[in-house]
Each structure stands twice: as structure tokens, then as C-alpha cells.
Amino acid sequence: MHYAYGPTVAVVVVCLLGLLLRWVFGSGRSRGARAAGREAGSGSYGLLRTVATVSGRPEGNALRALLSDAGIRSTVTERPDSRVDVLVFREDVDRARQLIPPIR
């Protein structure tokens, strides 16, 4: 019967290590909660802020080129309604909004 103690102890130790690692490296928020917060209309993705919403990717890429010429880093992301948001870093929001022409 003593031959069963070794594998049993090994399984218990691995399970405890798994729980410990999950607790230490877990974010404290579920992925669903993070995604719901982003889609709730906050207009931000971490350090990035939305400066314009256009009807498609070609228009978004044109605005990115305009911002790039002014030395402003930007990116685009597609929304669920197929529109495209142009995003820049927080410190560049005011300059970017001055450069972007009014969108109809």
C-alpha cells in the first residue's frame, strides 16, 4: 500500500502549485469583464484614445497617413457595426483632433 503514497503526493503538490500560480499571476478580473468595459462606449483601449470614427478602413488609413505625416502615432480598429475608430495616444489627442478635418 505504501507504493500509492508517492503518486498521490505528487498529484496533490501539482494541484496546489497550479492553484498558487493562478492566484499569483491572475489579473483579478475575468476576460469577459475587460471586454465588456471596452465595448461599453468608453472610447479607449488602454493608453489609446479614439479621435475619429469613419465609415471604413480606407478612410481610417487615410487619417492614419495624415497623422503620421504630422509625427503622431496612430492605429485603427473595427467596431462591431463595421465602422472604424482611429486611435492615438492620450498626449496626442488634442493635436490629432486639430489635424483631422470635420467628418460628415
Max distance between CA atoms of the chain, in angstroms, equals: 80
pLDDT per position as a tens digit, 38-56: 544 455 588 899 999 999 9
Query: What's the confidence (pLDDT) of residue 40?
Result: 44
The answer to whether residue 34 scores a pLDDT higher than 60 is no
pLDDT per position as a tens digit, 2-12: 788 889 999 99
Which of 78, 74, 76, 68 is closest to 91 using CA atoms?
74
Mean pLDDT to the nearest integer, 20-36:
70
Instruction: Go through the domains of the chain in sequence order and give each one's CATH number.
Output: 1-40 (no CATH), 43-104 (3.30.70.1530)
Q: Which run of H or E residues covers position 84? A: strand 84-89
